[in-house]
């Protein structure tokens, strides 16, 4: 049976499904969250500034199920904790990335908040442009199918539009699964460490503009044409000025030539946007509306669909990584 994985920005209507995923992941690790902890997770999901991305798996009958979610929140100076909601923040109760499976760790979850040992969490000033990844969960039945890595990449893409330019997450130093996921997705160690019921390390990444595909009914396209067709500029004169100023890149390299012939798969970046050129398969029929004609196309018709189905084949998913919020 064919299944398709799709990512989308979550809404308030997704909160119950997200909590169900979280509870299932906790249960698979021998934890039984009480009502207070569930309520705190709901608070996190609905907090101002929360960025929720959900993963839906659609079967051959077009029945969709939420199988995972990632939650980001504004990062803070200092320990880099997320937005924080005072004492009782679920990620400070061990629901976060510590991912410790020992009974002793689970037995003391939540107690240290009440003792005031962690009052400093989330108290720093907001750091502009920093997104703190506070939770990432996937249903146990869908572990190790690429859902976790797709969610991590998806929230990095979604973070660009609201103005985030950096991503951070803390995890226990002994959480090899989570660390493998972050490193596979391009995050790097910052060198900072702290105590989260054990040694913890920080991973960071500089975010890049999400890439949208531009499909055209043509055998080729010049750079100046793409800038207009993709809506990166309104006129040829604007494109010429942008190129002359060295503000256009092709596959990460500055390009000054407006007449540069582009090839299939090349990525053009300008004005905080990235567009990948997709040329037609000569053996396929491309008469459908999703393909742009470079001579007559409206830039708004450029296909911006981000299909994450192919990510389901990745091997870097460690879904029940709970991201410790500090």
Task: Give pLDDT tens digits for 107-152.
Answer: 333 333 333 333 334 557 889 999 999 999 999 999 888 999 999 9
Q: What is the pLDDT of residues 147-182, one digit of tens each?
A: 999 999 999 989 998 999 999 999 999 999 899 999
Distance CA 139, CA 319 (A): 7
Phi and psi based region of residue 4 (left: phi greater than 0; alpha: psi -120 to 50; beta: remaining): beta
First to last CA, the chain: 42
pLDDT at 252 over 60: yes
Q: Do 135 and 323 form a contact (C-beta atoms < 8 A)? A: yes
Q: Do 235 and 228 form a contact (C-beta atoms < 8 A)? A: yes
The b-or-e profile of 182-216 (16+ CB within 10 A means b, else e) is bebbebeeeeeeeebbeebbbbbbebbbbebbbbb
What pLDDT score does 52 carry? Answer: 96
Burial degree of 105 (CB within 10 A; 0-12, 13-18, 19+): middle
Distance CA 135, CA 244 (A): 43
The CATH superfamily label for domain 211-301 reads RNA-binding S4 domain (3.10.290.10)
> Of the candidates 273, 129, 131, 278, which has an alpha carbon nearest to the alpha carbon of residue 210?
273
Q: Do 181 and 147 form a contact (C-beta atoms < 8 A)? A: no
Q: Do 146 and 311 form a contact (C-beta atoms < 8 A)? A: yes
pLDDT-wise least confident of 34-43, 101-110, 171-180? 101-110
pTM of the full predicted structure? 0.66
> Of the candidates 57, 74, 261, 75, which has an alpha carbon nearest to the alpha carbon of residue 151?
57
What one-character DSSP code corresponds to residue 42?
A: H
Distance CA 125, CA 84 (A): 11
Domain boundaries along the sequence of the chain: 4-208+309-313, 211-301
Can you read off the two tokens belonging to residue 289?
Answer: 């509306």
Angle at 308 between CA 204 and CA 183, to 5 degrees: 25
Instruction: Give the C-alpha distances (Å, rounded to integers) separating 134 from 139, 169, 193, 259, 288.
Output: 17, 7, 17, 45, 41
pLDDT-wise least confident of 38-52, 78-92, 139-153? 78-92
> Of the candidates 131, 37, 34, which has an alpha carbon nearest to the alpha carbon of residue 85?
37
Which of the four CATH numbers 3.30.465.10, 3.40.630.30, 3.50.30.60, 2.70.98.40 does domain 4-208+309-313 have? Answer: 3.40.630.30
């Amino acid at each position: 049976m064919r299944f398709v994985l799709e990512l989308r920005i979550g809404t308030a209507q997704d909160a119950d499904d997200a909590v169900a995923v979280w509870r299932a992941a906790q249960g698979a690790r021998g934890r039984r969250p009480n009502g207070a902890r569930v309520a705190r997770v709901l608070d996190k999901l609905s907090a101002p500034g929360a960025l929720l991305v959900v993963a839906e798996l659609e079967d051959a009958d077009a029945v969709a199920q939420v199988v995972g979610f990632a939650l980001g929140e504004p990062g803070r100076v200092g320990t880099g904790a997320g937005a924080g909601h005072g004492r009782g923040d679920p990620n400070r109760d061990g629901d976060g990335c510590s991912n410790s499976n020992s009974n002793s760790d689970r037995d003391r979850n939540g107690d240290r908040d009440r003792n005031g040992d962690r009052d400093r969490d989330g108290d720093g000033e907001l750091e502009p442009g920093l997104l703190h990844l506070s939770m990432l969960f996937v249903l146990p039945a869908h572990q190790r199918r690429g859902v976790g890595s797709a969610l991590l990449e998806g929230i990095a893409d979604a973070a660009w539009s609201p103005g985030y330019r950096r991503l951070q997450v803390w995890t226990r130093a002994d959480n090899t699964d989570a660390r493998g996921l972050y490193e596979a997705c391009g995050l790097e160690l910052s060198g900072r460490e702290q105590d989260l019921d054990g040694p913890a390390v920080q991973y960071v990444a500089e975010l890049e503009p999400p890439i949208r595909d531009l499909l055209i009914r043509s055998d080729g396209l010049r750079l100046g044409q793409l800038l207009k067709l993709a809506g990166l500029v309104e006129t040829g004169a604007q494109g010429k000025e942008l190129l002359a100023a060295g503000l256009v890149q092709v596959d990460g390299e500055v390009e000054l030539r407006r007449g540069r012939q582009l090839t299939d798969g090349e990525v053009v970046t300008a004005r905080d946007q990235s567009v990948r050129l997709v040329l037609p398969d000569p053996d396929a029929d491309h008469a459908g509306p999703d393909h742009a004609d470079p001579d007559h196309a409206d830039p708004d018709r450029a296909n911006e669909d981000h299909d994450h189905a192919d990510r389901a084949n990745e091997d870097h998913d460690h879904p029940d990584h709970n991201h410790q919020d500090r």
